[in-house]
Structure 1
Amino acid sequence: MNAHHDHTGPHGASPSGDALPTGTTGFTDEPQITLRGPAELADALPYTLGFHPTDSVVLLALHGERGRFGGRLRLGIPRSPREWAPVAEQLAECLVEGCERRGSRPDGIVVFLCQDPGEGESGRRVMERLRPFAQKLRTACGALDVPVYEALCLSGGRFWSYCCPDSDCCPPDGTALAPPGTSVMAAAAAYAGIHVRGSLRDMEARLRPRTARATVIGQERALDAASAALVHRILDTRARKDVRDDTIRLARMLVDRLAEHPPLADQDTSDTRDDALITHEEAAELIVGLQDRRTRDRAAEWMEGPEADHALRLWRALARRCVGAYGEHAAAPLTLAGWVAWSTADEPSARVALGLALEADPEYVFARLLHQACNEQLDPETLRECLRGEREARAQAGTRHAPGTRATARAAGARGVRRRLRARVGRSRGTAQGAPSTGPGSARPAEASGPGVGAHTGRRTGRQEPCGTRDGGPGGDPSGAGGADGSEEGSAR
């Protein structure tokens, strides 16, 4: 028998020859799931991420003699083969160093290359085209003394192993993936109430600008008008507060409007209906208003309970309206969508939204730090406390007129938390966020997270703290204006 038959876990993952036990992300009682060979390993991939990765390289860390799953990392496959060597080296370093920071260096790694065939291309051709990238990943991991136990290519509903030379075990034309919902992993996920959110491409499509010509023309015209009316007022210290208040009132009205129309079962139909509930002018005014960071921070307070669900629909709808020359404006609503998803425990959706925010504006600091905090498995409750503190400070300032009330409330509520958040994220280094970018639609910011499938340690400690920002987080220094002392200075992006 070949190695895939000799070991019931990934090739070489279990020197003892035992079955590979893993726990599954989100399972509260940490059940043990045995994955037998590359077929079940390939089937388990969507459950480790929460979606079907498309055009992605995924690295999973394995720990211990029995191959317990640990940290995981995903990145868009670089378009240019010239990028493959440096990207492979950085991904390997990021995963290994990230696992070490969490207390356990991986004993092995499993690599997945996921890409659908292009027009006129077969899955086998995709596998052969990506073979040099797989080899560079294996070499990069080996250079860090962490072997790659298995490297799989998933394409066109089939998978191939780059590690198994036995054509009886891994035929040249690949092996069909198991039908959805028929594997041991699918059964365990269904028992635990975990669902896969569809493909990465589908998730991104809900957040990308609409392309219908009539929609683009009408929305861009409305954005031009809103920019002409609002940008100079946002930059005017005397008019800025009125713009902020007007923007939040409009956002509140739209959140309430969406709440009156529950989401539909079909996501595409539901998103189209949400778009129809918001006029071009309303969307444009809100998109431009959210370019002011303090306005955006106030909008981020809709982060809990049913209100968060309605707000998330609004932020998605606004991201879809950032058309034409206003693509960079999508960073604000996308970051809000990512924040709300993370705050409501939907980490896969959060990473997708934050990755697109950084694609729209790589320098959008709030998105960068939230992305890092999410990838580092930090606890969003600390940032929720920060935002609650902001809300309480405003409430106290509005109801009490004693001198110093606002400053005292601000210091007691949010500012001290902000400093801890900035310090915490400043200590978090080495995520794959800084992986080389190869241009739009290719290598987006990586997603690195620990412990994933098979992790037997708690995912949340309650002590870790996500980020404040320099220009992008609640209460951080604005870009080009304001200061760390919580002044009312702001910025338009």
Structure 2
Amino acid sequence: MSDTQRTTIRARSAADVVALIPFLLGFHPADSLVLLAIEDTSGRIRVAARLDLPSADTPAASIDAALQRIIAALDEVRGASVVLAGYGPVERVEPILTVAGEALHAAGITIRTALRIADGRFWCLRCTDPVTCPPDGIPFEVATNPAAAAAVYAGLVALPDREALAATLAPVTGPARQRMTAATVAACGLLADVLDAAHTDSPGRAGSAVHADGDGADEDPDAVLDSRLGRALQAAARTYLTQVQARYRAGRPADDEHAATLTVLLDLPSLWEFAARATNGEAWQLQMWSDLVRRAESAFTAPAATLLALSALQAGHGPLAAIAVDRALAADPQDRFAQLLDRAIAAGINPDTVTALLSPAP
């Protein structure tokens, strides 16, 4: 998403920052450590990362590895300092805040402030003034906070917890699933017919598309798609994608036939790459790919889920991106791009890097 497309919401106090964190994550965190990297000159939040609070039996090496992954991402943001926010009881929050603070200090990263949040109150842990930072904490209410109100007005959502965010991508069930199953079977049959014809038309190939042994296993799929009909299929698939995108851009979700056909066509590597280069984190794209992830049959979920993850990363919505990658890997553990995204998210890749990687070479 370009800077001109980003909504500007100003946080003028610690209470504003605390109220905005759920909207940055997409859900209200609990038992969590949140790190916000904020540019010192512009005040722009460049990275919002979250870790589960470690339990008593969590290995120290695991905690350090998680922090180092985030610090690696923070290192890419020059001229930024960090807000640390721990959610939970003092006996669980203060130890991880200490460990995180030491790791950031060792990396040369400045800490703006360290907060603990629990039960509708927050504590500024570096503040010793009992008037401005009372021992029993400072009460806050997200529902009445002006920064949170601005976030809601901008269309940002803070769900109750991470499980609620994951539920927004749960597969459709009942009659909706039955309709999508039937539409997907029909789309697969149509694509198989076209590929069979392209197989016959592929360079150096004559006669039936099926080998004598009946499986055609030694046919090069790239050769099939490089045939006259294969190239026509890929061009038609790009047109189809553009038409479906226009529907979602206008606020009209695709019907079952169009949705199923697109999820099947996205199995074509060239169409997935074409769609990936067109992702930019706009709200309609998040809605489109989320809808298709929910409606896709399991065998065709991974392409739509990885495209949702790309859009979410570019929108700065890391938690949604992580959940989308989880859906992709659950559907296809061998999906190489889902595996790559999983590692990139763990390393704290930022939206600007994603956009640069997807931009066509000059």
Range into which the TM-score falls when normalised by the shorter chain: 0.5 to 0.7
Aligned positions of 1:412-491 closer than 5 A? 414=361, 417=362
Matched AA of 1:215: A
CA-CA distance at 1:375 after TM superposition: 0.1
Q: Which amino acid in the other structure matches residue 331 of structure 1?
A: A
CA distance in 1, matches of 2:287, 2:42: 40
Larger helix proportion of the pair: 2
Equivalent position of 1:354 in the other structure:
321
Partner residue in 2 for 1:315: 289
Q: In structure 2, what is the Cα distance between the partners aligned to 1:338 and 1:230?
A: 26
1:290 deviates by 0.8
Aligned with residue 152 of structure 1, among 85, 109, 115 = 115
TM-score by length of 1: 0.48
For 1:383 and 1:68, the matched residues in 2 are separated by: 27
Q: Tell me by how many angstroms 1:295 deviates.
A: 1.4
Q: Classify 1:39/1:224 alpha carbon distance in 2 versus 1 (closer, same or farther; 3 Å).
A: same
CA deviation after TM superposition for structure 1 residue 330, in Å: 3.2
Measure, in 1, the Cα distance between the counterparts of 2:241 and 2:42.
Answer: 48
Contact map agreement 2:19 2:142 (CA 8 A) in 1: no
Q: Per-residue deviation at 1:31?
A: 11
SS at match of 1:151: strand
Shift of 1:318: 0.8
1:215 aligns with 2:176: yes
SS of equivalent residue, structure 2 residue 50: strand
Alpha-carbon distance between aligned partners in 2 of 1:39 and 1:207, rounded to the nearest angstrom: 28
- 1:197 equivalent in alignment to 2:151: no
Pairwise CA distance, 1:239: 4.6
Query: Using the alignment, how far apart are the partners of 1:170 and 1:258 within structure 2?
Result: 50
Mapping 1:389-428, distance limit 5 Å: 414=361, 417=362
Residue in structure 2 matched with residue 365 of structure 1 by the alignment: 337
Counterpart residue number, 1:334: 305
| In 1: Cα distance, 2:82 partner to 2:285 partner | 39
Q: Summarize deviations over 1:374-394 as a string: whole Å, max 9, x none.
A: 60634837744x2xxxxxxxx
Aligned length: 318
Cα distance between partner residues in 2 of 1:353 and 1:225: 31
Alignment-derived partner of residue 278 in structure 1? 255
**What amino acid is aligned across from residue 355 of structure 2 in structure 1?**
P
TM-score, normalised by the number of residues in structure 2: 0.62
- The answer as to whether partners of 2:47 and 2:350 remain within 8 angstroms in 1 is no
Give 1:409's aligned residue.
Answer: none
Q: Give me the whole-angstrom Cα distance separating, in 2, the residues matched to 1:285 and 1:31.
A: 39
Task: Report the identity percentage.
Answer: 20
Q: Tell me the CA shift for residue 236 of structure 1.
A: 3.7
Taking structure 1 as reference, are residues 331 and 165 closer, same or farther at Cα in structure 2, changes over 3 Å only?
farther
Q: Is the Cα–Cα contact under 8 Å of residues 34 and 84 in structure 2 kept in the other structure?
A: yes
The residue type paired with residue 347 of structure 1 is A
Which residue of 35, 59, 76 corresponds with 1:59? 35
Equivalences for residues 3-42 of structure 1 within 5 A: 34-35=12-13, 38-42=14-18
Q: Which runs of 5+ in 1 are unaligned?
A: 1-24, 115-123, 264-272, 387-413, 418-493
CA offset at residue 176 of structure 1? 2.9
What corresponds to 1:85 in structure 2? 60
Unmatched segments (≥5 aa) in structure 2? 197-219
Offset from partner CA, 1:359-413 (integer Å, 9 cap, x none): 22375437629868960634837744x2xxxxxxxxxxxxxxxxxxxxxxxxxxx
1:319 alignment partner AA = V
What RMSD over aligned residues (CA atoms) do the two structures have, in Å? 5.1
Q: Identify the residue that residue 85 of structure 2 maps to in structure 1.
A: 112
Does structure 1 residue 289 correspond to structure 2 residue 276? Answer: no
